[in-house]
Amino acid sequence: MFVIVYAFEKFRPYLVLSKSIVYTDHSALKYLLSKQDAKPKLIRWVLLLQEFDIIIRDKKGKKNLATDHLSRLKNPHKDVFENKDINENFSLETLGPTGGHHGANFTAKKVFDADFFWPTIYRDAHNLVKSYVICQHQCKISQREEMPQNVIQVCEIFYVWGIEFMGPFPSSRGNRYILVVVDYLSKWVEAKALSTNDARVVVKFLKSLFARFRTPRAIISDRETHFCNDKFDKVMSKYGVTHRLATAYHPQTSGQVEVSIEAFRTAYKRPIGCTPYKLVYGKSYHLPIELEHKAYWALKHVNFDLKTTGDHRKLQLNELNELRDQAYENSFIYKDKTNKLHDSKIKNRIFNIGDRVLLFNSRLKIFSGKLKTSWSGPFTITKVFLYGTVELSQPDGPNFKVNGHCVKHYFGGYILQLVVSDL
């Protein structure tokens, strides 16, 4: 009876709308299908078979040759497993070549579906997924594994500038690059279109910037060659400016530098509580329509009074210092709120000297294909610095520094080696 139920369930799509004839030498099956006071298990089987059009006919075993022959074959496998300990490679042999995993719970469920169980299956599945080498190299970088934010808080306007090149763009009037600098407190932006991106044009631009906005305390840039060279270092040393370099593979360090136009300068900024233009010049920006029709000067000519104008300008200059102090407080409060919000959504990761880590390879985005590995390594941490920077060592190269956001702990262990025989 069980064999008939199993066969009809397995081949249900082919048999449900067809007339089926079952030949058997077990004549009592007809009686079992029509028995009234059967046990619950037998009743369930009968109900399962009622959706099929089945006819059971008697046929002696010696006439039902194929079925009789198969039923007399010996089982080459033992029905009872020997009491042997599960070795370390057992789970790999069960899940490896045909068992991709999508998390610990789904991996454990696949083991259950294969009729296996042991008490620590969930813990073992978690360790397998966590330490699986291929998956560690293939997964994407997680936002929850970012490092805590470190705020660059500036107390005075034009003390710290961020600088960066943008481009190359399609040539316009011979210019293919844009050199952009941003003040970290006022968010004031200066940009210049250039034909090249070498150190000479950078030095010339900075000298003009220092003449108009005084010499800053520090300049933050990336590690490109147009900022890291002898000519740039000599200018920084001459003017007494500290050159701070952003961590490799971490553009967020110099994130203040953005493409900006006049609309950016005159837009209200929540971190400082006013527009960058007003914070720099102490007055509102004149719209282009006012300049075109000279409406501002016509209005000033009508209301022109030398004493009143002088008193008003003196008041604006006095208010400018208060405005900048208020901008510093607003910037501090805003950055503190965003810092707490960011840190509440990330994991608390701690890196120590000697830890083995994987490095996120962002340059692989230039290659097509989804099967490219996203992580390289493992590397060994040799130094841990403040603000999330770590120094990595490699067997065949020099040590280098990266931000902790670009690395994750490496869990060595399960390495699948699939051997395919020649066909």
Q: What are phi and psi of 256, to 5 degrees?
A: -70, -25
Q: Which residues of 164-202 are buried (b: 16+ CB within 10 A; e: fewer)?
A: bbeeeeeeeeeeebbbbbbbbbbbbbbbeebeebebebb
pLDDT tens sequence across 286-337: 555 555 555 555 555 545 566 766 777 677 777 777 777 777 777 777 777 7
User: What is the rounded average pLDDT of the residues 82-96?
Assistant: 54
Q: What are phi and psi of 237, to 5 degrees?
A: -70, -35
pLDDT tens sequence across 408-417: 888 775 444 4
Highest mean pLDDT among 71-75, 216-220, 293-297: 216-220
CA 156 – CA 321 distance, rounded (Å)? 10
**What is the set of domains in the chain, with CATH numbers?**
2-71 (no CATH), 160-342 (3.30.420.10)
Tell me, what's the pLDDT at 268?
55
List, in sequence order, every residue forming a beta bridge with 220; answer none if it has no partner: 162, 244
pLDDT tens sequence across 33-52: 777 677 777 777 777 777 77
CA 54 – CA 12 distance, rounded (Å)? 12
Q: How many residues does the chain have?
A: 423
pLDDT tens sequence across 92-133: 544 444 455 567 777 787 777 777 788 888 888 888 777 777
Query: In the block, which residue shows the tokens 């800053």?
Result: 216
pLDDT averaged over every residue in the chain: 72
Closest CA to 53 of 22, 31, 28: 22
Closest CA to 25 of 68, 54, 66: 68
pLDDT tens sequence across 337-393: 777 776 777 777 788 888 888 887 765 444 445 556 677 778 888 888 877 788 888
Written as one string, the DSSP assignment of 356-408 is EEEEE-GGGGGS--TTS--EEEEEEEEEE-GGGEEEEEETTEEEEEEEGGGEE
Q: What 3-state DSSP class applies to 74?
A: coil
The yes-or-no verdict on residue 80 having pLDDT over 60 is no
Written as one string, the DSSP assignment of 254-267 is GTT-----HHHHTS
Tell me, what's the pLDDT at 305?
61
Portion of the chain with pLDDT greater than 70, in percent: 65
Tell me, what's the pLDDT at 396?
79
